Amino acid sequence: MCGIVGYIGTKREAFPILVKGLQRLEYRGYDSAGVALVNGNHELSVYKAKGKVADLEAFCADKDITGSVGIAHTRWATHGEPSSLNAHPHYSQSKNLAIIHNGIIENYAEIKKKLMNHGVKFLSDTDTEVLVQLIEYIQSKKNLDLLTAVQVALHQVIGAYAIALLDKRHPDTVIAARKQSPLVVGIGDGEFFLGSDASPIIEYTDKVVYLEDGNIAVMKLGEDLKVVSLQNEKLLPEIKTVDIDLGQIEKGGYPHFMLKEIFEQPECLKNCMRGRINVEHDSVKLSALIDYRSWLINAKRIIIVACGTSWHAGLIGKQMIETFCRIPVDVEYASEFRYRNPVVGKDDVVIAISQSGETADTLAAVELAKEKGAFIYGICNAIGSSIPRATNTGTYIHVGPEIGVASTKAFTGQVTVLTMFALTLAEAKGTLRHNEYTRIVKELVEIPEKIKEVLKTNEQVADLARTFTYAHNFLYLGRGFSYPVALEGALKLKEISYIHAEGYPAAEMKHGPIALIDSDMPVVVIATHNAMYEKVRSNIQEIKARQGRVIALVSKGDTTVSKIADAVIELPDTLECLEPLVATVPLQLLAYHIAVCKGKDVDQPRNLAKSVTVE
């Protein structure tokens, strides 16, 4: 949530870079946007607007937007309602300083009260303005330079932050700092870039520094990047090369990022498996399980911690690991795990799943588990993000940047990695017969082609969506490996169409949800030819007996469920344990097309952020 962009140089105008950077970060979710610029006369101007980045551009059309130094921000409201007044950047009282901030200052009210007692006046309701006023108060009271004032101020605040500051008296410098919120510095030829992630930066440079917690970056014209700690200890920044194709963060002719990312899944899963499955397609190797073999094969229990879509992937992973490896697995919401004093020990392996690698609750769960001596394994998409740096080892899903807020390819990537993890661990432990192991590996390699086949149903699903756009509620049902797919399908619909939807194990329908079924209730049922087929067919008959409208996902050639369902979507046959990878795709398409029919903002649904970096 929230997006930070910054630029300081001499060869370019800052405003176009900042606006394009904000557009690259729109996927993170926001309600207002703003920019601060220092022009050639050393004047510091702040422009901001409620709404989209386009609204900010329109507001700035007749303003002075010259200058080659600036910072910009998209805000997702925490303290203070969405408004131009509460939007970032925020001035200090003298208007010498301007700040942008991602995160939450938890003790802002206490600090604000003290500052008001010293005569400081506030214009907004935000915790961010409190921070910039505190920095200026310390700077003026103790006659300190800006860097030292920032260090003193950050020692006094409690919470999470990624900040960037301008001081019009020193227009050749931008100062940035982070704690628990991501911040990336791009290094160009005589210029610096700043971003919440690498997407606003990669157009200009592939050389980046990922700031660590407690790091402060000083970007000064004519000097190398300086990174120091809060205690002013000079640090040696590690410069990394970012390997992201610019085309991956553009729509490429699709109307929405979400649709593009749904259609990218076959190629993404090939990338996910590349180098991990051998050329004969009969074995899987994950370097993490080779390097840390003894930790993993001797685990007494595995705990998966995740949030949202990643939690659903974890539920599928649980079934894979327990079935293949015969190790008990718990799947926990990271937000609950971190607060309930969980029983975790040195014989446990904790798997943390997060697309962004910055999810605040999951990162906190990782730190808690580390304190208790557990071995930590990360499954993430964003290279260089916080969770991979905090874990003992792990696996990247390598599906490329995911821009749509509603996760699609990251989910299938996570399930693919969990499948490879379970297979590799099972082989190491000897808990899966070799012929069964090779059968699953060979079928996993075929999944990208089978997803391509499913994507051919796009027009059929679009027609179906028009029929069911009227609905106010949906029920999604599945059993076994398909139950988490039902949960994920319901979540997708809720996220982008704002239709209430619930996912249930099909057998649990009789324990409550059946009371809701009538002719206005569409029910999506995953009814493929697996071990539970006959039982799920009986559930469908119970729905039809109560006039429910059934949309069934069936195996190709099904002649039984197809006769009783109102609509069917055929899926290619695969192994039951791999069905989530093909069954989830039509549910993504269904949610997408219903949202489009309802005229919703598919890529940036209301109230949601792509990466939840605060509680």
Catalytic residues: 2, 610
Q: How far is CA 573 from the centre of its chain?
A: 31
Residue 527 β-bridge partners: 554
In one-letter notation, the amino acid at residue 259 is L
CB half-sphere exposure, 604, CA atoms < 13 A = 17
CA distance 553 to 150: 57
CB 162, CB 183: distance < 8 Å: yes
Joined together, the tokens standing for residue 563 give: 């006769």
Per-residue DSSP letter, 218: E
Which is it for strands 375-380 and 240-241: parallel, antiparallel or unpaired? Answer: unpaired
Residue 38 β-bridge partners: 44, 69
Report the run of H or E that residue 163 belongs to, with start and end.
Answer: strand 159-167
Per-residue DSSP letter, 356: S
Residue in the structure block whose two tokens are 């001797």: 298
CB 213, CB 168: distance < 8 Å: no
CA distance 452 to 390: 36
3-state secondary structure of 302: strand
In one-letter notation, the amino acid at residue 230 is L
CA distance 518 to 500: 15
579-597 vs 458-468: helix crossing angle, rounded to 10 = 50
* Angle in degrees, CA 102, 104, 110, rounded to 5: 140
CA distance 595 to 98: 39
